[in-house]
Amino acid sequence: MSENRTVRVAVAGASGYIGGELLRLLLDHPHVEVALATSNSFAGKRVHHPHPNLRGRTELTFSPHDGLAGVHGLDVLFLAMPHGHTMTRMPEYLDRARVVVDLGGDFRLRDPADYPRYYGKDHPAPALLSSFVTGLPEWHRDELRSSDRIAVPGCMATAGILTVRPLAEAGMLDGPVQVDARTGSSGSGATAGPANLHAERSGAMRVFAPTEHRHEAEIAQATGLPVRMTATGVEAVRGVQVLCRAPLAPGTREADLRAAYRKAYANEPFVRVVAQRTGTYRLPEPKILAGSNYCDVGFAVAAGAQAVLVGALDNLVKGGAGNAVQSMNVRFGWPETTGLSFPGLHPN
Amino acid sequence: MSENRTVRVAVAGASGYIGGELLRLLLDHPHVEVALATSNSFAGKRVHHPHPNLRGRTELTFSPHDGLAGVHGLDVLFLAMPHGHTMTRMPEYLDRARVVVDLGGDFRLRDPADYPRYYGKDHPAPALLSSFVTGLPEWHRDELRSSDRIAVPGCMATAGILTVRPLAEAGMLDGPVQVDARTGSSGSGATAGPANLHAERSGAMRVFAPTEHRHEAEIAQATGLPVRMTATGVEAVRGVQVLCRAPLAPGTREADLRAAYRKAYANEPFVRVVAQRTGTYRLPEPKILAGSNYCDVGFAVAAGAQAVLVGALDNLVKGGAGNAVQSMNVRFGWPETTGLSFPGLHPN
Amino acid sequence: MSENRTVRVAVAGASGYIGGELLRLLLDHPHVEVALATSNSFAGKRVHHPHPNLRGRTELTFSPHDGLAGVHGLDVLFLAMPHGHTMTRMPEYLDRARVVVDLGGDFRLRDPADYPRYYGKDHPAPALLSSFVTGLPEWHRDELRSSDRIAVPGCMATAGILTVRPLAEAGMLDGPVQVDARTGSSGSGATAGPANLHAERSGAMRVFAPTEHRHEAEIAQATGLPVRMTATGVEAVRGVQVLCRAPLAPGTREADLRAAYRKAYANEPFVRVVAQRTGTYRLPEPKILAGSNYCDVGFAVAAGAQAVLVGALDNLVKGGAGNAVQSMNVRFGWPETTGLSFPGLHPN
Amino acid sequence: MSENRTVRVAVAGASGYIGGELLRLLLDHPHVEVALATSNSFAGKRVHHPHPNLRGRTELTFSPHDGLAGVHGLDVLFLAMPHGHTMTRMPEYLDRARVVVDLGGDFRLRDPADYPRYYGKDHPAPALLSSFVTGLPEWHRDELRSSDRIAVPGCMATAGILTVRPLAEAGMLDGPVQVDARTGSSGSGATAGPANLHAERSGAMRVFAPTEHRHEAEIAQATGLPVRMTATGVEAVRGVQVLCRAPLAPGTREADLRAAYRKAYANEPFVRVVAQRTGTYRLPEPKILAGSNYCDVGFAVAAGAQAVLVGALDNLVKGGAGNAVQSMNVRFGWPETTGLSFPGLHPN
């Protein structure tokens, strides 16, 4: 049942890139009032200081992060905090709002045993892990309708899951999945270090995670398959593309892949199957997705019965803020595309 | 008086970059039905072939350009044809729709004498020139309310006019204006030649028009000042920035400039004054405007009482398709921001 | 035995990107005189017309391609022609010069049966295939010393071979190799079509060959392992990076990989092993290799005993013209680094 | 008289971008031995840590900056320190080597009165200013032959001076010069702050100095004309382009400009006049100059008898380290192109 009143939301960590994208989407969302945006470094400043695209769109100023404690009646609290932060403070945040949407990595993995391996330490609140629902409506829509605890998956994980899972569910993949993820620089955040200086990062093909990237665990969790992932930073600000390979189950043909994707996504507003034989944009390409909430997925079959799967999205939108807003739309019963209609630009 | 019914529009030359941007905006416009999109090279194909961002947004296919002749009851015809085309065929187009919006250069200049100099030939229909209104609502709003013939200014011209005119009108500029325009590659269009090959154009600082760029004449016409313009292609797909310099009239101070801009644009939804002393985005910057209909303008005063003025916009939106849609909104009495609310992205 | 006299060389197809790079290297080579550079489209024009970096470096003008027939006493003929051209005309070229170096794809594969699959047709001169030596000194040095027929491998193939072969030779790889190749736009050549327009190609992550790329066959031929390759165009003008994965043979450890690379390349002037634990440039990165003849190779080991190997080079230099010059140096007994000492730039 | 023995040099501030470029050039210079490279942040580390392009080219490690005091018998000391540093410590540096080459801004301006305006403070050693010779051989060759104190001009200043001075000397310019400088991100150095983060700086057209840029004073000093300069960061790592405009003296024609440039630069190895009517590279373009020591200059004449002049160079080479090496070559009587022969790349 949809709620027609305006819901009051807060964004914690709102001066970062994911935070800014949340503000962009939420400020234009017809059912939302942004009651609070926190940032210790920009406290007291107008939102357009770190987010110049929002100049003239709002009078909102940042509050210090502790300001959250003084706000009552929040319907939704979006947490866009650095990894490792919500892990330790989640109980407090759960008290602050009816619905909590965590965009960081701290509550994405269901198995506490994964944290030492992928996050380098034990999870301090393992009992909470199972109470979170993955904020990916395409695969968790029903749970999201009634969940008050939502963990939005990682940007590369979202692309990987949306690309691989339909075939995994259909039993078409026979063995481990290799994921080559390529990503733009915004994924490193607004406080990235010297390796992200323009002169160093420009034109890069930087294999920054040849093995053991955290998002690997999320894709494995969602698909039930072993996953080996590499992550490479390429020249782009926004955009993630995953190129996934896996052996096909015996007898699986290219047409079966198309059918499996269509079955999974025929009614999805934000997933498009892109696998053309001609034209410039034959397979998913993130450059036309900037600002949009689409994840495009495509496929080919290589010799040796190997599936070559491609997924693409904007890491800050479908790989973060857009996914969060879409999950909120599901949770509150609004049309899922509300506030998310921007189609992306071409050329771009 | 606004028209609340849906208006039927056609886009001629719809497979180009301006045409694609018109489609993006018009397909999401609540008061518009796109009845026809013409393209000889893509006739019969779906709109997403040349415009992959529109995949899944419409079932529309391109019609051959001659298909226009068979369409009746058009309210608006948008002409996104190559320069030189509408010059010879405008009478025919004027018969086809109630309102004609020309996005090319053929009807932008009011003085027939300018055409030999800037377009290399006499204008074949000089009598029509004075019947067109410049499609720039900020300076022609009242005329646009009742005009059926609209000529949208050039992308660099729009930036130059919006940046210079408030000060020219206020009598604050004393002498010729130098305009240093920088532009992204999309301004060269979807059929550009080998000089626009990625390997050649990437990372360029190409002074492709050191003198006599056509948009120079438009800025001169709109400001009443002599204009000397250069145009340089820089690394970007979208985006135009103009850096304009002119001597200040005696006694004019920096605060006067701010006041003049505020007076001109205080109530404008799409012009923002950006002139900060701190921060990364102190003066107008096109990279955060991609997809938006904003033109940001800013200023500084150099030694020797010289105004240094900066304007920025997305050449395909406020410098083209967005301006056209905004003009249509004015013409039909709709809120001017209808269909134009996308704020742009940061980072981008 | 080295030849100390100056050798006379010709470059056929000298107005293309590989041709231009050959000219850059050969014009500065102390033992070479460039007697002829052919180009039908630029015949009669100075070399700097298509290659503006060579302005002021030579008085050479292009000859029509047929001009080759009138030149006598050529020591070396470099063929930088489009794929498919030398296949049909090689006997004629072999008459023209003592040593022929083919930079196209027509004589790279030794097995005639590979041509129908990868080049779409039978090879018209299969008997010649076995007379060519692969122009990759790291693996064919001894043969090159006396060969008069040299076929330089493809750019992505060179990166793949140099990265994979040491481990293949050492028996450390146990099964098929997956090669994820990323490439800049110069690989498409100076006459690329509309898909390579800047506005389309800029910022791309374009999986243009999800399967069956021709260079796949070259890597397989050189390593003796099955290869599955994808090729993606990313934002760069120059540069190729390959990310290769293969299962490790039982018991193979990370230290073994390092040892195998060191053994293979310890004395190689143009292959560097780059596999650091810290710093920004931990694994091979093409952006610092532009203009240089280096191929950097690196490695990591993922869970499941999977090798993750990374190679990088400049596609026009070590992936083409540089490799050709290095092969010529070997053939004529000159120090291998002659004319190839440029180290690349940082930042870049 | 040339010195044929090897000279011993040190580079202070060698981990920065200018320092790295000095090392690249000096390590390959046939008459030079690099005795010391200082960097406090990289002391004890190999040169390739901050300069990955030099991997395998040298065994040199960084010394702490104080290490300079312990080195004797230096012929040349290159100072690539942050602005403001050498101002206070020059007397000490002059004791350390026979020839001192300062690449920072502290000794570029001859008039002490310029420092408060452009550097924000009085110069602490004004008496030393006149003892420095500008390290720009094209205009100071004779002085450089015997100078032991060399101040290399700023990157944008070098481009501006080489572009404007021939016409100024010939009396062809009649009034103030407007300089629009565009620059890549490497000009901000290896320790730039958050505004130079890739996600912020990528694709920028950032007017970071609308007025009063320091290099303005250098161009005025060298040309004797009033200069008004703006500086804009555009998308590039390397590269500076200046677009300069000035009124022509009565009667001056386009052919006179060409003649003046030819007269000034006919015998210069590193300045090329580029002003073509056709082709893609008609006017100077920095993208083909990366790594080279060229400064290309070109011109056009606009209506109203206005000169439009264009200069381009690589800010780290001809705009810094290359200019310094060229000056050293002059000082020691070696051929001026020694160690500076790299022509730049195309495409790039």
Q: Are A271 and A138 within 8 A, CB to CB?
A: yes
Q: Which residues contact A226 (CB under 8 A, 6 or more apart)?
A: A175, A176, A177, A220, C304
- The verdict on B190 touching C (C-beta cutoff 8 Å) is yes
Topology classification of domain B7-131: Rossmann fold (3.40.50)
* Whether the predicted pLDDT of D296 surpasses 70: yes
The ipTM of this complex is 0.96
pLDDT at D5: 84
Helices (H) and strands (E) in chain B, counts: 10, 13
- The verdict on A261 touching B (C-beta cutoff 8 Å) is no
- The verdict on D288 touching C (C-beta cutoff 8 Å) is yes
pLDDT at C1: 52
Q: How far is residue D156's CA from residue D180's CA, in Å, rounded to a whole number?
A: 10
pLDDT in tens, B179-206: 999 999 999 999 989 999 999 999 999 9
The size of chain A, in residues, is: 348
> CA nearest A303: which of C246, C212, C210?
C212
pLDDT at A3: 67
Residues in chain C, pLDDT under 50: none
pLDDT in tens, B250-290: 999 999 999 999 999 999 999 999 999 999 999 999 999 99
Going by pLDDT thresholds of 50, 70 and 90, the confidence category of residue B5 is confident
Q: Are A244 and A160 within 8 A, CB to CB?
A: yes
Q: Which chain D residues in 5-64 lie under 8 Å from chain A, judged by CB atoms?
A: 17
Q: Chain C interface, mutation test: which of D55, D202, D292, D293, most C Cβ atoms within 10 Å?
A: D55
- The closest CB to that of D234, out of B235, B303, B348, belongs to B235
Q: Chain A interface, mutation test: which of C117, C179, C207, most A Cβ atoms within 10 Å?
A: C207
Task: Tell if the CB–CB gap between A272 and B344 is shorter than 8 Å.
Answer: no
Q: Are B264 and B182 within 8 A, CB to CB?
A: no
- Measured in angstroms, the CA of C210 and the nearest CA of chain D are apart by 26
Two structure tokens written together for D282? 């008609």
Going by pLDDT thresholds of 50, 70 and 90, the confidence category of residue D212 is confident
Q: How far is residue C78's CA from residue B230's CA, in Å, rounded to a whole number?
A: 42
Q: What is the mean pLDDT of residues D47-54?
A: 97
Two structure tokens written together for D38? 């200082």
Q: How far is residue A241's CA from residue B118's CA, in Å, rounded to a whole number?
A: 45
Residues in chain A, pLDDT under 50: none
Q: Chain B interface, mutation test: which of D155, D177, D202, D207, most B Cβ atoms within 10 Å?
A: D207
Q: What is the mean pLDDT of residues B62-78?
A: 95
- The verdict on C193 touching B (C-beta cutoff 8 Å) is no
Residues of B whose CB is below 8 A from A53: 288-289, 292, 343-346, 348
Q: What's the distance, CA D196 to chain centroid?
A: 21
- The verdict on D88 touching A (C-beta cutoff 8 Å) is no
Same fold, D7-131 and D156-315: no
pLDDT in tens, D104-162: 999 999 999 999 999 889 999 999 999 999 999 999 999 999 999 999 999 999 999 99
Active site residues of B: 155
Q: Which chain B residues in 303-342 lie under 8 Å from chain D, judged by CB atoms?
A: 303-304, 306, 308, 310, 312
Residues of D whose CB is below 8 A from A191: 194
Cβ atoms within 10 A of the Cβ of C53, count?
27
Residues of C whose CB is below 8 A from D346: 20, 51-54
> CA nearest C23: which of C270, C334, C323, C325?
C325
Residues of D whose CB is below 8 A from A201: 198
Q: Which residues contact C62 (CB under 8 A, 6 or more apart)?
A: C14, C15, C37, C38, C39, C42, C43, C44, C45, C46, C47
Cα-based distances in Å from D175 to C28, D114, D246: 43, 21, 6
**DSSP state letter for A152:** P
Residues of D whose CB is below 8 A from C344: 53
Amino acid making up residue C117: R
- Measured in angstroms, the CA of D195 and the nearest CA of chain B are apart by 6
- Which residue has tokens 């010289």? B306
Task: Tell if the CB–CB gap between A272 and B237 is shorter than 8 Å.
Answer: no
pLDDT at D207: 97
Q: First CA to last CA across chain A, in angstroms?
A: 39
Going by pLDDT thresholds of 50, 70 and 90, the confidence category of residue D1 is low
- The closest CB to that of D245, out of B178, B212, B308, belongs to B178
Report the 3 state secondary structure along chain D. Answer: CCCCCCEEEEEECCCCHHHHHHHHHHHCCCCEEEEEEECCCCCCCECCCCCHHHCCCCCCECECHHHHHHCCCEEEEEECCCCCCHHHHHHHHHHHEEEEEECCCCCCCCCCCHHHHHHCCCCCCHHHHCCCEECCHHHHHHHHCCCCEEECCCHHHHHHHHHHHHHHHCCCECCCEEEEEEECHHHHCCCCCHHHEHHHHCCCEEEEECCCCHHHHHHHHHHCCCEEEEEEEECCCCCEEEEEEEEECCCCCHHHHHHHHHHHHCCCCCEEECCCCCCCCCCCCHHHCCCCCCEEEEEEEECCCEEEEEEEECCCHHHHHHHHHHHHHHHHCCCCCCCCCCCCCCCC
Residues of A whose CB is below 8 A from B288: 52-53
- The verdict on A285 touching B (C-beta cutoff 8 Å) is yes
Task: Tell if the CB–CB gap between C54 and D343 is shorter than 8 Å.
Answer: yes
Task: Tell if the CB–CB gap between C205 and A285 is shorter than 8 Å.
Answer: yes
Q: How many CA atoms lie within 13 A of B212 on its CB side?
A: 12
Two structure tokens written together for C333? 């007994």
Q: Is residue D280 helix, strand or coil? A: coil
pLDDT at A330: 98
Task: Tell if the CB–CB gap between A194 and C306 is shorter than 8 Å.
Answer: no
Average pLDDT, rounded, for chain D:
96
Q: How far is residue C329's CA from residue C321's CA, in Å, rounded to a whole number?
A: 12
**DSSP state letter for D237:** S
- Measured in angstroms, the CA of B345 and the nearest CA of chain A are apart by 6
CB pairs under 8 A between A and B: 89
Domain ranges of chain C: 7-131, 156-315
Exactly one of D36, D74, D133, D155 is catalytic; name it: D155
Residues of C whose CB is below 8 A from A282: 207-208
- The closest CB to that of C210, out of A182, A228, A300, belongs to A300
Average pLDDT, rounded, for chain B:
96
Q: How far is residue D175's CA from residue D248's CA, in Å, rounded to a whole number?
A: 8
- From the number of C-beta atoms within 10 Å of its C-beta (0-12, 13-18, 19+), residue B139 rates as middle
Task: Tell if the CB–CB gap between C55 and D274 is shorter than 8 Å.
Answer: yes
pLDDT at A200: 98
Q: Which chain B residues in 94-123 lie under 8 Å from chain D, judged by CB atoms?
A: none
Nearest CA in chain A to D16: A199
Q: Are B78 and B101 within 8 A, CB to CB?
A: yes
Q: What does pTM read for this prediction? A: 0.97
Task: Tell if the CB–CB gap between C348 and D285 is shorter than 8 Å.
Answer: no
- Measured in angstroms, the CA of C101 and the nearest CA of chain B are apart by 25
Nearest CA in chain D to C45: D279
Residues of D whose CB is below 8 A from A198: 185, 192, 196-198, 200-202, 237
CATH of D156-315, one of 3.30.930.10, 3.40.50.720, 3.30.360.10, 2.40.50.140: 3.30.360.10
- Which residue has tokens 């060959």? C209
Exactly one of A68, A90, A100, A155 is catalytic; name it: A155
* Whether the predicted pLDDT of B35 surpasses 70: yes
* Whether the predicted pLDDT of B1 surpasses 60: no
Task: Tell if the CB–CB gap between D346 and C272 is shorter than 8 Å.
Answer: no
Going by pLDDT thresholds of 50, 70 and 90, the confidence category of residue B3 is low
- Measured in angstroms, the CA of D183 and the nearest CA of chain B are apart by 10
> CA nearest A25: which of A56, A3, A2, A57?
A57
pLDDT at A212: 85
Q: How far is residue C249's CA from residue C305's CA, in Å, rounded to a whole number?
A: 8
Cβ atoms within 10 A of the Cβ of D277, count?
5
